[in-house]
């Protein structure tokens, strides 16, 4: 199968997404490598919250409240900060559907760590993983699991999967696999500036 072509914009003809079973396959494949708990946690948090890779790289352990099942992120680690329309602080309820095991996955990952780094995902070479490093984890697991992303131009290949594919996959899951969500719920989860952005990207995920 050939890869889908990108025009450089997220239009509804070039967005790629994964279905829940494919993400589960990636999570399972994490344990075939040296950093199983960490890599599983990376994919799980991205797929649960829809965070961008640069945002996840900036998350500290102290921003997690696993007893409450929440992740709280300040404005300064979010995209487009600072500017005249800087984002607000955001609190994510983890695993809203109850199917992703996010809290349990994070507890297992954190309990296996023996370092004192404040970063949720530290690096051996630096204080924390970079956005590129997080994206590399996602791509490696997609290749290992052999997942082929969906798109409206046809199926892609594992090499097409990126951290941003998981962000699109959050929208597909909320609108097609979970119950009771609207485009407004997707907009809030992904923190789009306006509902128009959400509609442009994802209204085609709803059935007609």
State the Cα angle at 186 between 165 and 91, rounded to 5°: 95
Residue 129 to residue 54: CA distance in whole angstroms: 9
d(CA 180, CA 174): 8
Residue 159 is assigned to a structural domain of this protein: yes
Task: Please tell me the predicted confidence (pLDDT) of residue 84.
Answer: 64
Specify if 120 maps to a domain: yes
pTM summary value:
0.91
Flag whether 10 is in a domain. Answer: no
Tell me whether residue 9 is in a domain: no
Domain that holds residue 114: 20-205
CATH of the domain at 191: 1.10.443.10
Q: What pLDDT digit, counting tens, does each position of 100-118 carry?
A: 999 999 999 999 999 999 9
DSSP, collapsed to helix, strand or coil, labels residue 101 as coil
- Indicate whether 126 belongs to any domain: yes
Low-confidence ranges of the chain (pLDDT < 70): 1-11, 13, 84
What's the domain count of the chain?
Answer: 1
Query: Is 149 inside any structural domain?
Result: yes
Domain-embedded: residue 30: yes
Look at residue 8 and tell me if it is in a domain: no
């Amino acid at each position: 199968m050939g890869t889908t072509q990108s025009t450089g914009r997220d239009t509804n003809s070039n967005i790629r997404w994964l279905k829940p079973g494919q993400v589960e396959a990636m999570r399972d494949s994490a344990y075939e490598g040296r950093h199983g708990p960490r890599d599983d946690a990376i994919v799980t948090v991205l797929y649960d919250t829809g965070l961008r890779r640069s945002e996840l790289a900036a998350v500290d352990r102290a921003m997690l409240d696993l007893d409450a099942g929440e992740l709280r992120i300040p404005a300064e680690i979010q995209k487009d900060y600072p500017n005249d329309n800087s984002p607000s602080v955001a609190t994510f309820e983890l695993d809203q559907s109850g199917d992703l095991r996010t809290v349990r996955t994070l507890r297992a990952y954190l309990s296996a760590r023996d370092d004192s780094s404040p970063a949720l995902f530290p690096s051996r070479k630096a204080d924390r993983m970079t956005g590129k490093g997080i994206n590399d984890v996602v791509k490696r697991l997609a290749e290992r699991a052999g997942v082929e992303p969906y798109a409206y131009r046809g199926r892609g290949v594992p090499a097409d999967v990126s951290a941003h594919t998981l962000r699109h996959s959050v929208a597909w899951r909320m609108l097609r696999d979970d119950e009771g969500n609207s485009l407004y719920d997707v907009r809030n989860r992904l923190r789009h500036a306006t509902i128009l952005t959400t509609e442009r990207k994802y209204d085609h995920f709803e059935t007609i």
